[in-house]
Homo-oligomer: A and B are copies of this chain.
């Protein structure tokens, strides 16, 4: 059986849960729910842009709905946003059809129980360091960094290196 590193070059699409993966799992409330506050990591964001530069598709699949998600997705020019999806597996199947992908091309990063069905279906399932036990157990890889604190960066760098794309996408910083 192929290891996590050996399978990374097969990945064409990275699917991200939002809360607890792109963020540290905290949601802030003030005047109203629509404007819930979330904090994203700038280094994770840069890594997502490097993935896109290498030709991969990166997008969001989340059970919650918020403007913060859409602002962040637009800023990073994400390939797709599926939000408010209470049944993540059904949404994942729809995503595969609509984005013309197969599960074997997908890597999913999750942190909680609701992520389990998609994690078992994807080619590669990654858990952030502070995921719940059940998610840590099914993951092909557990990041050293926690959600919202570099977990996505860690996966992206390794994926680009295993794919042999690292030098190409970061070349401009070494000119």
Residues of A in contact with B (beta carbons under 8 Å apart): 19-20, 25-43, 45-46, 64, 67-68, 71-72, 74-75, 111-114, 116-117, 132, 134, 148, 153, 170, 173-175
Contacts and interface: CB of A to CB of B under 8 A. Distances in A.
Given A113-B173, A173-B114, A25 B42 contact: yes
Nearest to A37: B30
A28 B37 contact: yes
B26 A112 contact: no
Contacts of A35: 30-31
4 smallest CB-CB distances across A and B, nearest first, come from A29-B68, A26-B39, A19-B42, A31-B35
Contacts of A33: 71, 74-75
- For this chain, the copies found in one complex come to 4
B67 A41 contact: no
Contacts of A38: 28-29
A25 B37 contact: no
Contacts of A132: 43, 153
A43 to B, nearest CB: 6
A60 to B, nearest CB: 13
A30 B31 CA distance: 11
Nearest to A26: B39
Nearest to A25: B42
